[in-house]
């Protein structure tokens, strides 16, 4: 079974109630592939009411179900709010909050137990890319961040080179292909259904470059940041994926 095509939008720390109009516009389209929007936690429940066939996810979760963790949100809380997915291990969480592979893996276990699909992010920094360490970094993050309970049904992997996020820069097609081939081979070797795990590319995906990126082998979709905030931009990316 081939991996499903998925266009995922990460709104990051952007979005107020008025932003749900963009979700309305996306929900009214014939999108032609699976679409996921991960708004800030304050908008998850109202977003579900506006989403139609679009899935709604969280941007992080805690590894514990409950407890004295002020400001954190558990996977069960995301599920209760109406979310079906959660992004984990995004480079901004790793950099800004010092998240380790082990912490990402623990969060993924909690998310799976709560019935959420995890979008686990991996990717190298510019210094690691320049040092020729990209494939080693990706392999290490996959080994440490993806738990043994991961399956093609509950896990998606997003390759996001840190130096390309929000910069307008993207790796070459050959660099993207090399990273995605490594991920496919690594997952296939570790999991029986690893060949079916969806692999997304993220990092300055825009309407202008989406079609070219989606033509690359083992790229099954995208994790999109800024371009997912406007239905017109994200809709064009979705259309490119649907046609790929």
Please give the positions annotated as active site: 90, 160
Instruction: Give CA 63 to chain center in angstroms.
Output: 18
Tally Cβ neighbours within 10 Å of residue 211. Answer: 15
**Cβ(126)–Cβ(162) below 8 Å:** yes
Per DSSP, the residues of 167-224 read TS----HHHHHHHHHHHHHHHHHHSTTGGGSEEEE-SS--TTTHHHHHTSTT--EEEE
Backbone angles phi, psi at 105, to 5 degrees: -60, -40
Copy the structure tokens of residue 45. 């429940």
């Amino acid at each position: 079974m081939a991996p499903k095509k998925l266009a995922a939008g990460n709104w990051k720390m952007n979005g107020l109630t008025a932003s749900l109009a963009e979700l309305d516009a996306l929900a009214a389209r014939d999108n032609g592939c699976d679409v996921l929007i991960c708004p800030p936690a304050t908008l998850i429940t109202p977003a579900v009411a506006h989403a139609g066939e679009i899935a709604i996810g969280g941007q992080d979760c805690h590894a514990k179900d409950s407890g004295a963790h002020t400001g954190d949100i558990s996977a069960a809380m995301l599920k209760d709010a109406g979310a079906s997915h959660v992004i984990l291990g995004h480079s901004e969480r790793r950099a800004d909050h010092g998240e380790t592979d082990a912490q990402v893996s623990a969060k993924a276990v909690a998310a799976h137990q709560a019935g959420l699909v995890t979008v686990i992010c991996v990717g190298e920094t510019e210094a690691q890319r320049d040092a020729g360490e990209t494939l080693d970094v990706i392999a290490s993050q996959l080994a440490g961040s993806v738990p043994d309970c991961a399956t093609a049904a509950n896990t998606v992997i997003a390759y996001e080179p840190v130096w390309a996020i929000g910069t307008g820069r993207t790796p070459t097609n050959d660099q993207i292909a090399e990273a995605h081939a490594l991920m496919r081979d690594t997952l296939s070797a570790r999991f029986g259904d690893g060949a079916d795990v969806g692999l997304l590319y993220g990092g300055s995906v825009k309407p202008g470059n989406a079609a070219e990126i989606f033509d690359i082998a083992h790229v099954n979709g995208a994790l999109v940041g800024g371009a997912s905030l406007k239905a017109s931009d994200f809709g064009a990316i979705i259309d490119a994926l649907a046609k790929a």
